[in-house]
A and B are shown apart, each in its own frame.
Chain A
Amino acid sequence: MTFNDWTFNNSRPGDTKTEVTFAEFFNTLDFNKQEEYLVRESFQNSGDAALSDVIPVKVRIYVSGNERAVKPSIAGKYFKSLLPHLEACQDIPGDWKVLLDGPCEFLAIEDFNTKGLTGDETAGMHDSEQNHFYHFFRTAGRTDKQAGTGKAGSWGVGKFVYIMSSQLRAMFGYTVREHSDASRRQLLLGQAALRYHKIGASIFSNYGYFGIPSDPEVGVTMPYNESASVNQFKKDWSLKRGDGQTGLSVVVPYCRDIEPDNLLFSIIKEYGGRILKGRLEVELDLPGGTIELTKGSLFNIIDSHANDEEWADVRSLLSLLVDRDSAKAEDWIELPRITKASEWRDLPLSDDLKEALASRFLSHGTVFVRVPVEIHRERSDASRSAENSTFEVLLRQEEGSDPIAPVFYRDGLRISGKQMGNKSNGVRTVFISGGGILAELLTNAEGPAHTEWQPNRDKFKGKYRRGDVWLKFCKNAPRRIVELVRGTNEENDYQALADLFPDPEYQASSTPKPKPKTRGEDGGTSGDVVVEQSGEVPVRISATDGGFILRLDEETDVEHMLVEMAYARVRGNTFSKWSPADFSTATLEVDVAGGDIISTEKNQLVVHVANTAKFKLRVRGFDSNRDLRIRATETLGV
């Protein structure tokens, strides 16, 4: 079987020469390992091409290593004609002859239960039709995946991880897809991304294709589709795909060093959650044996690396995701729908809700929070209602107190760049975006590597009302909810001014023994409401069922009084931190004798005292599970 030569189209001197920089782009990212982005990008494409949500996508990764490398005599069939082009690209370093004379170590990544590269393989220009084949082989920086439709990819550059993983900057794609024309069901095409180069008097483009050449004026390099060529290719590169198995097989020849342990770890770290959901299975075919990663085997594999900190961290994360999937309705705490992007501190969350969060965290060490959101598009017409979505934040108290970075998921893709949220000490946090407009918003804020959410992306800017605030709101959600379950946000700082105002009563420590008394289960609730009172306005305040009664001392000349009410808070000025979510005077039951109510507003009453001796203000309707604070101030009236 003989294949055609690689085809590089001629370039005219007047053409602008745009080199391929996507591959270099991936080298600038802050991934720990090359294997990580290879796994992220290839699995992302496979997930996006799934046949259904029910049948798991299967991915097979074949690492030849030196043991199973393709012999030079066989590899020569594929690359001999590429050599002059490689040698002409003088600014790509490499001793090509030596490389091609040696064994060809390669990587094959095959996905099953997927659609394969559908679309018209003859297309040389994009049109309105979805065409995955065209976008995979014939474009750079372009995709037909739409943000917010459940697709992880959105930039059209992920495919370049294959190119950059090859020392030759080349790859092959073999796809099987459904098609009414049997001759178009299986297709094989190779691609190389080099530099613009000159051989003799001819200037060649940087992209080359391994296929059936066409006249570039009228067509594109066509993929092989007849059985002889395809079967030979499958045999040479140890592919497993059967004739009727739809999907895509990518071969990365002369693969750069792949460390099997890193590959295994990257799969589990990036896609362990999807494996545990039963939506992905992986066969890792290594020179030393095959590892099957399935829902049933995953934790056994992780536990075999129990002594490694990185693995232990991933185990903890995945076990939290498992707990989330098995949580009952009562395990969730839902925040009120957020209808306007804001700072977390400005949310009108009731103290009851905060108390529920704190109690749950104290008693269970785990909290699952669901946050419904309502997002508006920036230029939507007025008749269009807001679009709803939701996100989840999972929290778990961990042993120890090391800072743990939050992990964010969008459409099953882990978004975990260094700029994503602040660490929390001793608390593991996970953010999971729901679908629809929120997933779309987040996708449009992602860069090509899908590691960060930034508001300065062109796809994002000006598209959503208060979009930048929504983005910040989501990124801050894990940290802020940790603060909520801890019962407060920021504490006072007692150090910054310690040199100016040292506590004059500071003394060396002493150590008295604690002497707790034995009491009932709830610890000393007497049933009587304790009232503490201080100040100069001559009032007597007493507790009543769900409220209070305020009387005046008989010998006083107070005529008008402002009475403010607020639930007690652990810090700050109670009255200025009153929230409409707590209560308002409009909903309280207010009775006055010996005087009149002049005005009511928010948490305030202004009263006129007509008869000091008979004056009695009774206010009820407060939550008796909350402590109440009342402030009475003499005023001049309204």
Chain B
Amino acid sequence: MRPTVANLNFTSRKRIERSHVRISGTTAGNEGYFILDRFDVSEYEFPYDAQLFVESWTGKYGYQRFDVGRLDRLDLAKRHDFASNDLPNATFRIKVVAPGSSGKILGDADNIPVEIGGRPPSILPIDPVDLDNRVWWLEIDEETGPVLQMNQRLPDYQQIARDIEFRATVMPSVVYQIALWVASSTSSGEADAKVRRWEKALTFPSVDLSKVNVEDEDSRQDFATRAAKAFAKHHDLFEKFIISLDRNQQ
């Protein structure tokens, strides 16, 4: 039986759904800017004079904060200059703060990726955390979905995540675990939406979730194995890995 998880919202802080927020970025040379081009707060019942802040984070420069203004006076087309050329690597957070001087946070949305030039962000985020002696770990949380954790003590985890040696040896296993989660899931609500998105992401010619018998463990594992194989083939992981080995030996 899958564990039951309950959230008790004592503080009444609203969790703004990611689908209600969208941040788009544009870069040119070393300059960049972003716009908050979607912010739908109609169902959250914030006071009209609450203040909206957007915060960005990049590994190179840390945080920037942008005072976007009162909720009833938002200019969604306004460009916010970004000081570095690090905009494509930025992650954003939204905070709605009570009017007055209390600084009380009424609502927030976290881990919002920036969309640059129409390129979709990754459905599998990387979370740099302390993993002791492990290099990576796949964490699947009911609420947040799969997250690839990488040891924050690695010298440059982003580069390692892009290296073919890492991808070829790690990613098929990652996909296998995610596919098992998808095949086993009976979630509902927002958690279910995440499962359905992953279902789409794992759509390959020989992989069909509709043929899986959810009650049959062998069937679920077969689906996951097929997904991992199809993923590796789709991205030519083995071929690229061999080429990389040859290069390194020269």
Confirm or deny: A535 has a beta carbon within 8 angstroms of a beta carbon on chain B. Answer: yes
A520 to B118, CA, bound (A): 39
Q: Which B residue sits closest to A628, measured CB to CB? A: B8
Contact A629 B10 (CB under 8 A): no
Which residues of A lie under 8 Å from residue B7 when comparing CB positions?
A: 530-533, 568, 627-629
Which residues of A lie under 8 Å from residue B126 when comparing CB positions?
A: 492-493, 496-497
Q: Which A residue sits closest to B234, measured CB to CB? A: A500
Q: Which A residue sits closest to B66, measured CB to CB? A: A401
Contact residues of A between 575 and 595, Cβ < 8 Å to B: none
Cross-chain contact of A503 among B47, B97, B120 (Cβ < 8 A):
B120
Mark interface residues in A425-465 (1 if CB within 8 Å of B CB, else 0): 11100000000000000000000000000000000000000
User: Are A490 and B3 also in contact (CB < 8 A) when A504-B123, A519-B47 are?
Assistant: no
Contact A516 B72 (CB under 8 A): yes
User: Are A493 and B200 also in contact (CB < 8 A) when A359-B104, A516-B71 are?
Assistant: no
- Say whether chain B's binding surface is mostly helix, strand, loop, or mixed: mixed
Contact B44 A573 (CB under 8 A): no
Q: How many residues of A contact B (CB 8 A)?
A: 92
Query: Which candidate, A105-113, A170-178, A192-200, A479-487, is the interface stretch facing chain B?
Result: A479-487
**What number of residue pairs across chains A and B have CB atoms under 8 A from each other?**
314
Confirm or deny: B100 has a beta carbon within 8 angstroms of a beta carbon on chain A. Answer: yes
Contact B62 A501 (CB under 8 A): no
Contact residues of B between 61 and 102, Cβ < 8 Å to A: 61-66, 71-72, 74, 76, 81-84, 88-89, 91, 93, 95-102
Contact B37 A629 (CB under 8 A): no
Confirm or deny: A510 has a beta carbon within 8 angstroms of a beta carbon on chain B. Answer: yes
Which residues of B lie under 8 Å from residue A531 when comparing CB positions?
A: 6-9
Contact residues of A between 502 and 555, Cβ < 8 Å to B: 502-506, 508-512, 514-526, 529-539, 541, 543, 548
User: Are A630 and B6 also in contact (CB < 8 A) when A401-B81, A524-B44 are?
Assistant: yes
Confirm or deny: A491 has a beta carbon within 8 angstroms of a beta carbon on chain B. Answer: yes
Contact A519 B45 (CB under 8 A): yes
Contact B37 A634 (CB under 8 A): no
Minimum CB–CB distance from B17 to chain A (whole Å) comes to: 13
A493 to B150, CA, bound (A): 11
Which residues of A lie under 8 Å from residue B197 when comparing CB positions?
A: 503-505
Q: How many residues of B contact A (CB 8 A)?
A: 103
Contact A521 B122 (CB under 8 A): no
Contact A486 B115 (CB under 8 A): no
Contact residues of A between 587 and 631, Cβ < 8 Å to B: 622, 624-631
Contact B91 A506 (CB under 8 A): no
Which residues of B lie under 8 Å from residue A504 when comparing CB positions?
A: 120, 123, 197, 200-201, 203
Which residues of B lie under 8 Å from residue A238 when comparing CB positions?
A: none
Contact B6 A517 (CB under 8 A): no
Mark interface residues in B101-132 (1 if CB within 8 Å of A CB, else 0): 11111101011010100111111111111100
Which residues of B lie under 8 Å from residue A491 when comparing CB positions?
A: 57, 91, 93, 110-111
A507 to B37, CA, bound (A): 13
Confirm or deny: B187 has a beta carbon within 8 angstroms of a beta carbon on chain A. Answer: yes
Confirm or deny: B191 has a beta carbon within 8 angstroms of a beta carbon on chain A. Answer: yes
Confirm or deny: A363 has a beta carbon within 8 angstroms of a beta carbon on chain B. Answer: yes
Cross-chain contact of A625 among B10, B111, B125, B167 (Cβ < 8 A):
B10
Cross-chain contact of A516 among B41, B95, B110 (Cβ < 8 A):
B41
Contact residues of B between 141 and 155, Cβ < 8 Å to A: 141-142, 144, 147-148, 152
Confirm or deny: A259 has a beta carbon within 8 angstroms of a beta carbon on chain B. Answer: no
Q: Which B residue sits closest to A517, measured CB to CB? A: B45
Which residues of A lie under 8 Å from residue B81 when comparing CB positions?
A: 401
Which residues of B lie under 8 Å from residue A505 when comparing CB positions?
A: 197, 200
Contact A523 B6 (CB under 8 A): no
Confirm or deny: B22 has a beta carbon within 8 angstroms of a beta carbon on chain A. Answer: yes
User: Are A493 and B46 also in contact (CB < 8 A) when A401-B83, A424-B63, A534-B191 are?
Assistant: no
Minimum CB–CB distance from A502 to chain B (whole Å) comes to: 4
User: Are A534 and B127 also in contact (CB < 8 A) when A491-B57, A494-B113, A498-B122 are?
Assistant: no
Confirm or deny: B24 has a beta carbon within 8 angstroms of a beta carbon on chain A. Answer: yes
Mark interface residues in A355-383 (1 if CB within 8 Å of B CB, else 0): 00011111110000000000000000000
Which residues of B lie under 8 Å from residue A526 when comparing CB positions?
A: 12
Confirm or deny: A402 has a beta carbon within 8 angstroms of a beta carbon on chain B. Answer: yes
Contact A537 B2 (CB under 8 A): yes
Contact B62 A493 (CB under 8 A): no
A515 to B47, CA, bound (A): 10
Q: Which A residue sits closest to B23, measured CB to CB? A: A509
Confirm or deny: A423 has a beta carbon within 8 angstroms of a beta carbon on chain B. Answer: yes
Contact A633 B200 (CB under 8 A): no
Q: Which A residue sits closest to B63, measured CB to CB? A: A486
Minimum CB–CB distance from B35 to chain A (whole Å) comes to: 9
Confirm or deny: A180 has a beta carbon within 8 angstroms of a beta carbon on chain B. Answer: no
Cross-chain contact of B10 among A401, A483, A626 (Cβ < 8 A):
A626
Cross-chain contact of A514 among B71, B144, B186 (Cβ < 8 A):
B71
Which residues of B lie under 8 Å from residue A500 when comparing CB positions?
A: 122, 124, 167, 171, 235
Cross-chain contact of A490 among B13, B50, B119, B128 (Cβ < 8 A):
B128
Confirm or deny: B222 has a beta carbon within 8 angstroms of a beta carbon on chain A. Answer: no
Confirm or deny: B48 has a beta carbon within 8 angstroms of a beta carbon on chain A. Answer: yes
Which residues of B lie under 8 Å from residue A506 when comparing CB positions?
A: 115, 120-121
Query: Which residues of A come within 8 Å of B, CB atoms?
Result: 343, 345-346, 358-364, 397, 400-403, 422-427, 479, 482-483, 486-488, 490-498, 500-506, 508-512, 514-526, 529-539, 541, 543, 548, 568, 570-573, 622, 624-634
14 residue pairs of the A-B complex, CB under 8 angstroms, read A359-B102, A486-B65, A493-B89, A497-B122, A500-B167, A501-B122, A501-B201, A509-B115, A511-B37, A521-B98, A529-B10, A531-B6, A535-B3, A630-B5
Those 3 A-B pairs whose CB atoms lie nearest each other, nearest first: A535-B4, A363-B103, A494-B113
